[in-house]
Structure 1
Amino acid sequence: MTSPNIVWTRIDERLLHGQIRITWGKHTEANLILVANDDAAEGPNAAFMQAGMKASAGGEYAVRFFSIQKTIDVIHKASPKQRIFVLCNTPEDVARLVEGGVPITHCNVGNMHFHEGKKQIAKTVSVNSDDINAFERLVKCGVTCTVQNTPDQNPEDVLELAVSA
């Protein structure tokens, strides 16, 4: 089993959109964006979601939509030529990937919008106790978790922000 060439992992509630293609895709030099999300892969609105996200990719990247479990099952079959950008919309999904054996070492947190029951820890990131628990599980697995909306910003530790918020 080979280790997949994962060049970036990001949490963004919006999943694949223009900012991912324009800033993060170019910054990471990815050639494949893997949207690891159960709803986008096989939910009732999957076809609609995928169409919008494929349009956002602008044809510059190969795009795949896998459930969390399928990602765990097939990621190690990736070609070494694939420079994979893993995109999830929750820290729980990233934690499930890591606990399932996906070799993620860093998780970039971009957009987790404020909802009832969440507290804002950065301009674009709000968390609840379940999110914090998932980040703690990731850190225990050796994954660095940082908030950084765009590449020109300085990364900040998610858990440190959560404690100080």
Structure 2
Amino acid sequence: MLNILLTRIDNRLIHGQVAVTWSNHVGANLIVVANDKVAGDVVQQSLMDMAVSGVETRYFTIQETIDKIGLASDDQKIALIVKTPQDILKLVKGGVPIQKVNIGNMHYSEGKEQLTSTVSVDEDDRETFRELNKLGVHLEIQRVPSEKGENIIDLI
């Protein structure tokens, strides 16, 4: 049985909050980063690995994640991390059984509207979240485990 304990959108990917706080909170022993660019960047992987202690890491493209995640052993407790909601949609459409998404950080940039202190979206993000919602994926903004989550659909 596939054990995805956390699926998180965080444009920083692995950092202290993900590597320590979230992985410990959910009991993950493996962090899988699904990102086409980082999958081929060993320098960035090494920098992210420096934040991790006692948890294994894997760096896959979106397609590799779709192809390989179902091969995880029963004892692998997975925290799946992506940069964008569009990546989540590709994974879901590719058959990855994601039922709930934790939205941690989507930084503000020109053309985006700030919904919370850590989440900003543009129209493409809004459409993607609506499509994920229609596919039955629960979408919750929650920076850290001690905060109460907030359904993003209520904000967009």
TM-score, normalised to structure 2's length? 0.97
Unaligned runs of 5+ in 1: none
Name the structure 1 match of 2:23.
25
Name the structure 1 match of 2:42.
47
1:74 aligns with 2:68: yes
The list of structure 1 runs, each at least 4 consecutive aligned residues, that deviate by more than 2 angstroms after superposition, is none
Matches of 2:94 and 2:20, distance apart in 1 = 30
Q: Secondary structure at the match of 1:137?
A: helix
Match 1:142 to one of 136, 140, 146: 136
Give deviations 1:99-156, integer Å, cap 9, x for gaps. Answer: 1000011000000000000000011000001111111121111110010000011100
Matches of 1:95 and 1:57, distance apart in 2 = 27
Within a 5 Å distance, the mapping from 1:1-165 to structure 2 comes to 3-42=1-40, 46-58=41-53, 60-162=54-156
Q: Secondary structure at the match of 2:6?
A: strand
User: Is the contact made by 1:32 and 1:83 (CA closer than 8 Å) also made in structure 2?
Assistant: yes
Measured after TM superposition, the shift of residue 74 of structure 1 is 1.0
Q: What is the letter of the counterpart of residue 67 of structure 1?
A: T
Measured after TM superposition, the shift of residue 4 of structure 1 is 1.4
Give deviations 1:83-112, integer Å, cap 9, x for gaps. Answer: 010000100001100010000110000000
Matches of 1:137 and 1:37, distance apart in 2 = 20
User: Is the contact made by 1:122 and 1:161 (CA closer than 8 Å) also made in structure 2?
Assistant: no
Q: Secondary structure at the match of 1:14?
A: coil
Greater mean deviation of Cα atoms: 18-27 or 115-124: 18-27
TM-score, normalised to structure 1's length? 0.92
Unaligned runs of 5+ in 2: none
Q: Secondary structure at the match of 2:37?
A: helix
Percent identity reads 46
Q: Secondary structure at the match of 1:57?
A: coil
Q: Secondary structure at the match of 1:7?
A: strand
